[in-house]
Amino acid sequence: MVSEVLLQELPLLVDTLLTSPIACLYLRPDNVVEGNCAEELLQNSHRVVEEYFVAPPGNISLPKLDEQEPFSQS
Comparing CA positions, the residue from 50, 34, 32 lying closest to residue 42 is 50
CA–CA dist 71, 54 (Å, integer): 34
* Mean pLDDT computed over 39-65: 81
Comparing CA positions, the residue from 62, 63, 45 lying closest to residue 54 is 45
Q: Enumerate helices (H) and strands (E) in the chain, giving the number of each.
A: 2, 2
Residue 57 scores a pLDDT above 80? no
Give the contacts of 45 (CB within 8 A, at least 6 positions apart).
53, 54
- pLDDT 10s digits, 6-43: 556 666 778 888 888 777 778 888 888 888 888 898 99
Residue 48 scores a pLDDT above 60? yes
Coil, helix or strand at residue 7:
helix
- In this prediction, residue 2 carries a pLDDT of 55
- In this prediction, residue 3 carries a pLDDT of 59
